[in-house]
Amino acid sequence: MIQSDAMRRDLVAANHILARESVLDAFGHVSLRDSADAGRYLLSRSRSPEIVAETDIRRFTLDSRPDDPDSGPFYAERVIHGALYQLRPDIGAICHFHAPAIMPFCVTGTAIMPVSHVGATMGEAVPFWSGRDAFGDTNMLVSTAEEGASLATAMGPHWTVLMANHGAVVAGRTLREMLFRAIHFCRDAEILQAALRLGTVTPLTPGEIRLSAEVNLRDTVLQRAWDYWLHRASQGRSGRPGMAAE
């Protein structure tokens, strides 16, 4: 089945946006379920997100096997994506990342909680998964089907999950929803760290989380955010210091 040009373009844009917004760096990856075949997903071959191009996009089964095995190399941790798509038919896009904003929470096991209006999109609870508890000492990559399934089970019905000493995974029903959630997950973590240094933190109430998330995930809001981030990413790629031109 031929990949949609629009899907490939959007997935490339998502890679560039998440790199520009400091969610992804040289590592991490973002995927999109194939709208023409729910049993497959799209993901770049193993490249740094900032330089991913349309020609890098590959197609995988939900067992994370590439349609073209000779078109690699591939991300070792692609099983994260396949496992979550298998477990959650409602998920349409996924990002795995190691942003500095969330790493202190991964290292200490401190809970991330929504403390900002846009941060409400992370949901009321963020599960915590430890590969060490599940599998003992490993190289910390989630690279086997068993590890992927364990992580997916830990996320459960939620949209975010922290990984002990490693990073996080964020999902969404759509690519734009996932982008909004991932970026503001990191922003909320930055705000929370600063607030904890100042004093007692007052998180959002469950009702505020539900109502604020509903507002912020409306199509008009997601479109506005997508346009803004896409503009910033395109500016960066055309010559902002520190950004590589393709």
Question: Does the annotation count 208 as an active-site position?
Answer: no
Q: 118 is written with which tokens?
A: 């846009």
Q: Active-site residue among 77, 124, 146, 147?
A: 77
Burial-class residue 45 by CB neighbours within 10 Å (0-12, 13-18, 19+).
middle
Say if residues 122 and 203 touch (Cβ distance below 8 Å): no
Report the distance separating Cα 29 and Cα 22, nearest Å.
13
Report the distance separating Cα 12 and Cα 234, nearest Å.
12
> What is the 3-state secondary structure of 5-28?
HHHHHHHHHHHHHHHHCCCCCCCC
Report the distance separating Cα 119 and Cα 180, nearest Å.
9
What value, to the nearest 5°, has the Cα angle with vertex 168 and ends 163 and 174? 140
So which residues are the catalytic ones?
A: 77
